[in-house]
Structure 1
Amino acid sequence: MAAEDDDAIEELCVIADTDPGRLTPHLGSLLDLDVLWPAKLYRAADAGVVRRVIERIDGGRTPDRLNHLLLVLAHSANPLAESAMRRWSTQPPAGADKLHISVLSYAREGDWTVGLDGSRRDLCGSTAYRWVMRETPRRADGPTCPWCASPLWTAADLDTTEPAVGAAMSHTGWSGRLVIETCHFCACYTTLYSQVTPAGATTWWTGNTGPSYLPDTAEPEDPPALTPVLGPARPSPYQASAWNRGGSTLGGRPDWIQDAEHADCPGCGQPMDYVGLIGGADLDDYGEGAYYLHLHQPCGFAAVNYQQS
């Protein structure tokens, strides 16, 4: 991998997604070789490796590599990494002035955050299930998008009384039915929010604001005639795929195509909990990209955003 062999990179990434602990004994060697990308290889980094990364940042020897080193720490989600990142948020290390985001904001790349009360909050759960697409007839009298007039798409219809669903969503604190409706077209251009209740009600949020680059559509577009239903459990929470057919997943961790984009709750501004991913390859033979679903139980908001290569 140090020689940038694509096959080696792919093989180690597969291991990081299926059983990251297998890489733990070898992460010191990767660090010696300055292999810092992709940072997800360090998900199961032990305290020794984390300390070495922290010491490298504190030593200021490679400020040009600070971005990669912080990503490594964020993905490790180790308490030592968290403590160091908190310290650097008020005492920035060498190279921090060249970063595009604050040091502590890197936590989101590892799917965690620090809340207003100062405590750590994981944005994802550790249980995941494959989402299988089921054909769903569209209601003729169903709601439509206020922007493009396309029929809204039911991206998820979940009930936590089903044990598997409850396990996958336990980190959200949600109890009851959750229906997430969105515009499959406009969600490709901006994060779309809806207000939801445990009774299964879902309403387009009137505060949604369309970006200036949202294209005008001559005709409304029909949404996918598919809704995800629960499939088998994933052996690892990291096995969602935004690229491959069969990669749609409830729970677990997102497979971001670009940088992590955990939606912020429009009610309180805090990062929302991640619910699941629906891959374009599961919606259409030529589909690409992925829809990411989020929820903030205290404020009753759901969100859908989209990424593509």
Structure 2
Amino acid sequence: MLTEENIEDLVVQCCAGDEDAVRELADAAASDPGRVAPHHARLIAAGVFGRGEVYRGADEATTGELVRLADAADGVALGELLDCVANAHPVDAERAFRRWQLAEDVGVHTRDAGWELTPSGTRRDLLLGPAFALLPVDAEDIEAPEGTAGGPDGPPVFGTPSGEHCPWCGMELHAALDLPPGSAAARALGLTGPDHVRVLCCPRCTDFDIILSAYDGSGGARWLEHNVRPSFNGPTLDGWDPYPTRLVLGPARPDGGSGSAWHDGGSALGGHPDWIQDPDRPDCPLCGRAMVFASMNGGADLWGGEGCLYVFVDLDCRTGAVLYQQS
């Protein structure tokens, strides 16, 4: 974990134009926004706008200055400043984007920051809530019948075999997200309704393309016919095994910050996605709206390697999507 001295050193390096330091400071702000916020004025004065996440948790004054600069910018500078504003103070950011929305399509900036404006101009959050750690547990240590495994409050959030099989490769599908009503994980995300939210993925085919599923609200889930088999789906089934690890709910992350797609212990329920590649938020296959981010399940926790599985849901349409990224 970075110390306050480390943060100060990164700020100095950012102000001197070090792009690697900007990326590292953005990661620090994503995981704990309050630690970077006191430095925002210095960063603005130095023109540090390359990563919008740096300004996550910004106050009204900081957001106002970012908006002022964006109003006077164009080209690449404008795009960077729009990313910064989208991550900043919610009320002021919404007000600015309502005004900008009249002139051009700026939705990509807000969606990457975890929200969007509807056609009527109201805010729609694309996040389920603050981040909680997801802790790895060896699959062999999970006992008791489904619905009670992983502790007294329900099954593992990730990794339970579903009994359904992938139409492309025949492997058993697993639950990429399992939130029974009333479970600790569901409550952590503020889900108080009666639906059992369940999203499926294939241990093999999810590595090659997005996997879409639908759930019935009672614990059942199925593969969606909207899935499109990729042109390359791996040369063979050899070497592909079921997930050896389950993920169970852990403590809240500091200041509601996000998990990490790169490090052990980085898997998270809620918060923002930590993208390895470019942001790739899917749309619901039924209604076409942007889906809501639910969890990220890191390869470092699941199989001791790189990569990350990102899980999205549409709670109204009862659909889910899982996509994979690696460096």
Q: Normalising by structure 2, report the TM-score.
A: 0.81
- Distance in 1, matches of 2:163 and 2:26, equals 42
Is the contact between residue 110 and residue 116 of structure 2 (CA under 8 Å) also seen in structure 1? yes
Distance across 2 between alignment mates of 1:173 and 1:208: 30
Q: Which amino acid aligns with 1:142?
A: G
Paired residue for 1:35, among 38, 41, 48? 48
Q: Is the 8 A contact 1:50 1:78 kept in 2?
A: no
- Give distance in 1, aligned partners of 2:120 and 2:47: 36
Write the letter of the residue equivalent to 1:132. Answer: L
Shift of the 140–254 alpha-carbon distance from structure 1 to 2, 3 Å rule, reads closer
Check whether the contact 2:130–2:257 (CA below 8 A) recurs between aligned residues. Answer: no
Task: Say which SS state the counterpart of residue 198 (structure 1) adopts.
Answer: coil
Shift of 1:10: 6.6
Matches within 5 A, 1:145-156: 145-156=166-177
Contact 1:125 1:253 in 2 (8 A): no
The residue number in structure 2 matching 1:86 is 98
The alpha carbon displacement at 1:36 in A equals 1.0
* Partner in structure 2 of residue 113 of structure 1: 116
- Tell me the distance in 2 between the aligned counterparts of 1:113 and 1:75: 12
Shift of 1:139: 9.4
Which residue of 1 is the match for residue 215 of structure 2?
196
Q: Take 1:39 and 1:140, find their aligned partners in 2: how far apart are those partners? A: 38
| Aligned CA distance change for structure 1 residues 173 and 268 (closer, same or farther; 3 Å) | farther
4+ runs of 1 displaced by more than 6 Å? 137-141
> 1:185 is matched with which residue?
204
| Number of the residue aligned with 1:233 | 252
| Mapping for residues 55-94 of structure 1, pairs under 5 Å | 55-60=68-73, 62-92=74-104
Structure 1 position 166 matched with structure 2 position 179: no
Are 1:173 and 1:297, in contact at CA under 8 Å, matched by a contact in 2? Answer: no
Q: Secondary structure at the match of 1:152?
A: strand
Indicate the percent of aligned positions where both proteins have the same amino acid: 35
Aligned to 1:136: 139
Once the two structures are TM-superposed, the CA of residue 193 in structure 1 deviates from its matched residue by 0.9
Q: Distance in 2 between matches of 1:68 and 1:3?
A: 18
| Offset at residue 208 of structure 1 (A) | 0.8
Pair 157,24 (structure 1): closer, same or farther in 2 beyond 3 Å = closer
Asked if the contact 2:161–2:173 (Cα under 8 Å) also holds between the matched residues in 1, the reply is no
Q: Decide which moves more: 33-42 or 138-147.
A: 138-147
- Identify the range of structure 1 (215-224 vs 153-162) with the bigger mean alpha-carbon deviation: 215-224
In 1, distance between residues paired with 2:193 and 2:225? 23
> Does the C-alpha gap of structure 1 residues 175 and 254 become closer, same or farther in structure 2, counting only changes over 3 Å?
farther
Q: CA deviation at 1:247?
A: 0.8
Q: Residue 292 of structure 1 aligns to which amino acid in structure 2?
A: Y
CA contact (8 A) 1:178 1:198 kept: yes
Gaps of 5+ in 2: 1-13, 141-158
- CA distance in structure 1 between the partners assigned to 2:193 and 2:282 by the alignment: 17
State whether structure 2 residue 142 is matched by structure 1 residue 127. Answer: no
Match of 1:283 in 2: 302
Check 1:174–1:182 CA distance in 2 against 1; reply closer, same or farther (3 A cut): farther
- The number of residues matched between the two structures is 296
In 2, the alpha carbon distance for the partners of 1:174 and 1:117 equals: 26
Contact 2:296 2:310 in 1 (8 A): yes
